[in-house]
Structures are given as structure tokens and as C-alpha cells.
Chains A and B, each alone.
Chain A
């Protein structure tokens, strides 16, 4: 148990992660179209402010500004060759902020998807995907990240590649998928399938779970799906602060700090250990989440009705566990060809 997150998981009943990266940077003046990762070099004060915002609001763990610092995403900005360097910078700033926090704070090296479809359906091969994730992981490691944090993944093939890269980099791993399509990931992965895959990855994560997706309610429904399986791995819940609305030329998430406080305790009651927000979750949300987790006692496992009542309704009737698949209207199959 040499790594910082394993130690924290052993000591604590819950860990508060951070909130949004994109929404915060957007509010600091990032214009649509620019790669946020360039700011690790050119606007370091803003990246420091992003990280400090989470730490000062009570986060025990925050993600580095490296979601898109892989060769595939940076290629768009003619900066594919800078993947390792920009990842390293993201982690270096994070290391510095965490070390000055005066309490244990985990620097989690964010790794988002490549944005490409994996072979055989798409053009991205397993080998190249591993190489891209590995390059990014080495940069994050050099910069002092405590753990790799693979997030917003929808394809199992891509998750496997990222886990293999974590093994190559010899780094502990946390991993979350996004469940945004009828309770499943865009590629059709159920909460159950992801829970089972997590335990079988080349590099078994310290914790696994869900992030982003639709709203806070949907995310907790997915978490209930994970915890109902009774696995041993700690569960991560990182849901959006409600649903995005377009107000006066800006994107605004309709989840209030009080709603996210309710979400945080419901996430714990649903079986999550590492709890944070995703898009739209600002420091003021995190403060309320922290206070709620500290002051409210752990409650019983919530029902779906209770979640809907307190956080809002679900985006789909299907819960994405796959349990209702049999109830789906059976297509009349004519004949199968041998």
C-alpha cells in the first residue's frame, strides 16, 4: 500500500473529489476552440486557481488539466508531439498545489478519451491507443501525479488500452466510464458489464465508477447498479451539476450547490466512496458537498423514487443494468444463417 490514494482509502469512509475542469476554465476566459491544456504552459496562474479552487473548497483529490493531452486530441491543434510535455506540466502544477495544502491531497492525472473509434469498427488500433495513453501517463508520472485517472470512456476496448498503459507506466489507476445513452455508455456498456470488466483489467483500478453522463440522478442510478453487484472495489461517483442550460451566451448547469450537497450524501448512501462532481460543479458546490458529507449521517440505500424526488427525474426509463433487456420488444427473427 505504497501509494497515497490507497492509504487514504484505507483511512477514510469517503473522499471528496473535485468538480468541473472545463466549466471552471470557461469561466476564466477559455474560449471555445482552444485546447485547455495549453494553459498548463501559458496561463499557469489560472490552472493554479482551478486546482486551488477545489482544494480550498475541501476536495481531498483533484484531477489535472490533462483530459485532452493525448496525441490524438492535440493533433487538432498541431501539438500531437507535445502530449507528454503538456501532461507533465499539468501534474507539476498540481503537485505543487497539493504539497502546499497542509493536509493530504491526491493529484489524479486525468486521461480522457482519444475521441476516435477503435478497430475493427473504427481506425484506432489497440497498439496505437496504448501508446497514446502510455505517453500521456509517463508525462503525468514525471510531473508527480499520485494516480492515473482515466475518465469519460464509453468503449470497453479503449478502457482496456488505458489500463494496459497504466501498467506499462507502473502507476496506480482509477477509471470511470460515462453512462449517457438509455442508462448505458454510448457504446452500449451496462453498469454491470463495466463493474465486471474493471475487476479483470490488466491493471485493476484502485477504484472504478461513473462520471459525467446526463445529470446527477442518472449517475446515482448507475452507482446503485454497481453497488448492487457487491464487488470489492471502491466506487467513484462524479456526476454533473444538473443539466446544461444556455443562458445569455453561456452554458449554465441547473444543479444548485444545495442539490449537489444532497447528491453527495445520496452517492455515499448508494455505495460510492470517492465522490465528486463533473461538468458545472464549481467550488461553491464542493463546499456544500463537503459540509453535507461531514455533518449528515450515512443513511440507508436510497430508492430510485427517492433519488428522483430529491435530485430530479431520470433521462430514460431504462436503468442501464441490462436487467430490463429481456423486456425490450423482441424483434421477430426470421431465420439465422449458419
Chain B
């Protein structure tokens, strides 16, 4: 309750309570509390990977679900992502040491002629929040930049964003280039942006249209799992 303003001492909470509290703090975008929580769990001997998945990714899942359901909006999600990022900043070097695997690597960018990046940034943050590695190409990307980055980064996923009806057809130009070069099957292609819809995604040959950042994360997880299964079966 709002009127019950007892200070909570994070270090006095047991592990389960602390993780719950960190989910709440992520939801409220409290950066310093997240940093403190991450450090406490590490001091208690938690593996960096567990801190990432249980405390941070778990919390961002709630944020993502409420964003998808129209309960939270962009400003709140940006704050939460910012807090998440502060926690990741502590975990990243530790994760690298332990050689923990990531669940996939994504190259993302807004297409040529389009300078909108709010939606793309949100997707990038939420994907990182879900444990993906994200290489952000920024705005106004010609087809060559996408191809070069996919190759260089050994990416699994290509994410393209467009917010203008005048720029969304460019997504097809990029996908057609992948097909021409025989590279299309190497990547999962996700597209998004306000004027798009599922029908458009299908028409241009993307694997999926993602309505928002939360859907992008869920879709990426599902399609990555399918890709792994196919590789295992093959």
C-alpha cells in the first residue's frame, strides 16, 4: 500500500523475497535498487547467469507482459529497461568469464530513409532484457549495411523497423537481397513498426511481424527454439 512507507532493507530479505522485490523495483524503474539487489545476490554466491535469468529477465517479463496488454506504456518501459541495463552492466563481465551462452544474436536497425528509432530501441532493450545479444545499427540503414552486419556478427536474427508508410516497402528490398544471395534461410527475419501488420509481414517474406517489443521477444524465443530443433534433427 502506498501509505505503508516502511523502508525495506534489501539485504535483510531472503533470496526469494529479494527476487520478488527486484521484480517490483524493475517494474518501477528503480536503477540503484536493482544494482544493489544484483550485488547482494552475487555476494550470496549466486551464479551471474541465475541473477540474470531469475531476477532481471524474470522481472522484465512482467514489464513486457503489461506493456503488451496496454497497462504500461513506453515511458515506464524505458525506465525499467534502464534499470535492467544497470544490472546487466554489473553482470556482463562476469557472464563473459563464466562463458555463459547467450540465447541468440540479433542485428537490428531502422530501414533506409526512416529516422524513427524509439520502437527499435525498445525492441533492442527488451531483447537484451530477455538475454539476447543485440547489435544495433541505428537508423537509415541501406541494404548493404544489414548484409555486412549479419555476416560480421554471425547473427541469428535480423530485425527491421519502419515507422513510415513511405519507408516500409524497403524491408522487402532487404529480404529480396537475402533471397538473391541465397542467405535468406540463414536468418530469422522479424519486422515491426506502427503502420505494419501481419499481412504485410507475410507479403514481403518476413518470418514474423511483431506488434510490439514484448511480442518480438516471444517470437524470437519461439523461432530460435524451432531453429535449434531443426538443426538438431538435421
Contacts and interface: CB of A to CB of B under 8 A. Distances in A.
Interface of A: 22-23, 25-26, 30, 32-34, 36, 73, 76, 115, 117, 121-122, 180-184, 186-188, 243-246, 249-251, 279-280, 316, 318, 328-329, 331, 333-338
B7 A186 contact: no
B203 interface: yes
B73 A181 contact: yes
Contacts of A76: 115, 139-140
18 contacts: A22-B164, A32-B112, A33-B112, A76-B115, A121-B75, A121-B79, A181-B73, A182-B70, A188-B73, A188-B76, A246-B204, A316-B70, A328-B71, A331-B27, A331-B66, A335-B4, A335-B6, A338-B6
Contacts of B118: 115, 117, 186
Nearest to A329: B71
Contact of A336 (B1, B20, B196, B200): B1
Using C-beta atoms within 8 Å of the partner chain, give the interface range for chain B: 35 or more
Contact of A246 (B21, B33, B76, B200): B200
Interface stretch (B42-50, B153-161, B166-174, B223-231): B166-174
Contacts, number: 114
Contacts of B74: 181, 186-188
B169 A249 contact: yes
Nearest to A35: B113
Contacts of A243: 197
Contacts of B30: 337
A58 B73 CA distance: 39
A243 B197 CA distance: 9
Nearest to B23: A334
Given A186-B73, A245-B200, A316-B70, A115 B167 contact: no
A338 B4 CA distance: 8
The B interface is mostly helix, strand or loop, or mixed, namely loop
Contact of A250 (B76, B169, B194): B169
B232 interface: no
Contacts of B195: 244, 251, 279
Contacts of B69: 328
Count chain A CB atoms within 10 A of each CB in B73, B79, B204 and give the residue with the most: B73
Nearest to B8: A337
Contact of A279 (B5, B111, B165): B165
B2 interface: yes
Count chain B CB atoms within 10 A of each CB in A25, A33, A182 and give the residue with the most: A33
Nearest to A180: B194
B18 to A, nearest CB: 11
A338 B9 CA distance: 11
Contacts of A329: 71
B75 A249 contact: no
Closest 4 A/B residue pairs (Cβ): A188-B73, A33-B113, A182-B70, A338-B5
B70 A34 contact: no
B218 interface: no
B115 A115 contact: yes
Contacts of B221: none
B86 interface: no
Given A32-B170, A117-B118, 11 more contacts: A22-B166, A30-B166, A32-B113, A32-B168, A121-B75, A121-B79, A246-B168, A316-B70, A333-B1, A333-B24, A337-B30
